[in-house]
Amino acid sequence: MSFNFTSEPDSKYSKFSKMEAPKPIGIEIAYKKGANKKTSNPDLEKQIQAILADSKALPKDYSFAVTDPNVERVTLCDELLERAPRSNLKIYSYTLHDGEGEQETIEQGGDEVQIANHWLLPAREFHGLWDSLIYEDSLKENLLNFMHTTALFSQKNVNANLIACNRLVLLHGPPGTGKTSLCQALAQKL
């Protein structure tokens, strides 16, 4: 946060008016398997800022390449408008896990019944799934904000008796409408 000092002619004291700091630009960096993030190009952030500075406006989920051999892909998490400041970056880095999900089964009447699949996240199998889902305006963003708020309340040990927060999302609809894909993509995104 920054403060702007303004003087009013009728007042003998300066007033503080709070100015909003620019919202950070979210950047996701997907590292290649086995890549050491510490030995990655130290100028990677400067390279990303240079790419953003050279661009007038970029759409949300725009991906671009960088010269670092350890980086698989760089993705812009937020829409970048023409006059938006480009210096405040919030970088999320991860490495995609290869392999299929493990199946969990139970015995029922002599038969093994599959009840769940478990994946190490972020999984290569789900990479790009979030971007491919198309829903009504802002549904994905609202759901992601809801999940971040719920996680924040949990991390801060917020007393549920003082601040009520619904921690349940009910997805309903006929088979094939994307309920499972949305859950997989949301887990991957978080």
89 plus 34 within the same structural domain = yes
Q: Give the dihedral sign, CA 53/57/62/65.
A: negative
Q: Give residue 89's pLDDT.
A: 82
Residues 6+ away with beta carbon under 8 Å from 8 = 15
Residue 67 falls inside a structural domain: yes
Q: Give residue 184's pLDDT.
A: 92
Residue 177 falls inside a structural domain: yes
Residue 69 falls inside a structural domain: yes
Q: Which residue range(s) make up the domain with 65?
A: 25-95
Residues above pLDDT 90, as percent of the chain: 15
86 plus 132 within the same structural domain = no
> Residue 3: pLDDT above 70?
no
Q: Report residue 18's pLDDT band, with 50, 70 and 90 as the boundaries.
A: low
Q: Give residue 19's pLDDT.
A: 57
* Tokens 């609809």, residue located: 173
Residue 119 falls inside a structural domain: no
> Residue 1: pLDDT above 70?
no
Q: Give residue 47's pLDDT.
A: 87
Q: pLDDT digit string (tens) for 165-176?
A: 777 888 899 999
Other beta carbons within 10 angstroms of residue 137's beta carbon come to: 7
Residue 153 falls inside a structural domain: yes
Question: What total of structural domains would you count in the chain?
Answer: 2
CATH number at residue 38: 3.10.330
Q: Give residue 118's pLDDT.
A: 92
Residues 6+ away with beta carbon under 8 Å from 66 = 41, 44, 47, 48, 51, 74
Residue 9 falls inside a structural domain: no
Radius of gyration of the chain measured on its C-alpha atoms: 22
Q: Give residue 106's pLDDT.
A: 92
Residue 108 falls inside a structural domain: no
Residue 36 falls inside a structural domain: yes
Q: Give residue 14's pLDDT.
A: 46
Q: Give residue 40's pLDDT.
A: 66
Q: pLDDT digit string (tens) for 93-145?
A: 889 898 888 999 999 888 999 898 899 999 989 988 988 888 887 888 889 88
